[in-house]
Structure 1
């Protein structure tokens, strides 16, 4: 699901609601960060540490409203998920609350394609900790080194790599050492070579 646009809008709206200005480069630092940690980051970087809990709560409420109004899948994602789900167990490993993940997938017609949904909370630490990906691989019955993560944030890529998974990075490949966070970078999940590879591996 392409939720980053909604997180970005939710962060901007939350900053405005509290009369705060987003610090330069904040969007890059916040991408993929769990909403409670993002609220703390917003509070810290604007010099308002006492607002951390309120910012996090408002951020989540705003995001949930935005994504419920307009859940969006990444280009190529639905076709790739449906192809893979016919042959392999799939899991979601997310920093979003479970109800948000399941609602988005359900509205996109993809919830039934996933055998498991793993989210942070109840002893499962959020990304960039490896917990969600370790749990997802285990539930799918796959050793981590035989599982593949698909990620669009460096935070998520770090989580997957720390869990021992290989990683496909979606989006522009960053310069410098951050490019090593993914084993392969593709511009989108509709990438011709990626689709060909998936079909050949899955046997479709």
Structure 2
């Protein structure tokens, strides 16, 4: 364990804010299949490397990128609608949590406020967490909302709002993320960041305080259940 690892896992946040797609729920594969179906539906093929470019994007931004990547700007609305329709069908058929997600959430629940900050539509996040049996553990779910001027990641808004709702300063909250888009958003909001899953190529993973292969990493579970581990105010606000 490096000095950075030790420092983060000896820290006690006052709130934890989770990303949903690819962090709590194994839904990135659904987004990938939904993108493929939307492209095929319009007789198109995704360009090489598109999956990496789309990781963590809000679905509207992804639909825009899809159209731009194949030089068909006139298809932005059609591809965006097809993308969301296919994803909703896939995630409804097969909601699956990421390894260790349910256990970690249950270990932290009741010890400190938990929230979700996601680029997905609210109906997707709420439905996924409900089917996974996790929704009762989260006090708040924050998603992009133009009406409330909450912009999607990589803007910091969803994380800033989640920390505020939990009643803690951003620097006292921990974000849990799987994408560089999400890491950037959390960092810009002032949260500390735990990255999980395969490390992205390049140096982007250094934006997180610590990167672990999964939520069931032994050192993370030990931290979550330690008597002197994470704990926060129980009545935020």
TM above 0.5, one fold?
yes
Unaligned runs of 5+ in 1: none
More helix by share: 1
1:175-190 alignment to 2 at 5 Å? Answer: 175-190=201-216
Per-residue CA deviation, residues 75-103 of structure 1 (Å, 9 max, x unaligned), is: 00001001111211111000101011000
Q: Does the 8 Å CA contact 2:179/2:200 hold for their aligned counterparts?
A: no
Q: 1:118, 1:124 → 2: CA distance?
A: 9
Q: 2:70, 2:201 → 1: CA distance?
A: 28
Write out the 4+ residue segments of structure 1 that deviate beyond 2 Å after TM superposition: 172-177
Q: Does the 8 Å CA contact 2:180/2:200 hold for their aligned counterparts?
A: no
Question: Which range moves more in the overlay, 173-182 or 106-115?
Answer: 173-182
Q: 2:198, 2:96 → 1: CA distance?
A: 19
Q: 1:151, 1:103 → 2: CA distance?
A: 20
Q: 1:188, 1:29 → 2: CA distance?
A: 22
| Counterpart selection for 1:169 from 195, 202, 213 | 195
- Determine the structure 1 residue equivalent to 2:225: 199
Look up the SS of the partner of 1:188 in the other structure: coil
Look up the SS of the partner of 1:33 in the other structure: coil
Q: 2:86, 2:192 → 1: CA distance?
A: 33
Unaligned runs of 5+ in 2: 1-24, 232-237
- With normalisation by structure 1, the TM-score equals 0.97
- Determine the structure 1 residue equivalent to 2:100: 76
- With normalisation by structure 2, the TM-score equals 0.84
CA drift at 1:142: 1.1
1:150-169 alignment to 2 at 5 Å? Answer: 150-169=176-195
- Determine the structure 2 residue equivalent to 1:43: 67
- Determine the structure 2 residue equivalent to 1:103: 127
RMSD: 1.0
Q: 1:60, 1:175 → 2: CA distance?
A: 27
Question: Which range moves more in the overlay, 112-121 or 192-201?
Answer: 192-201
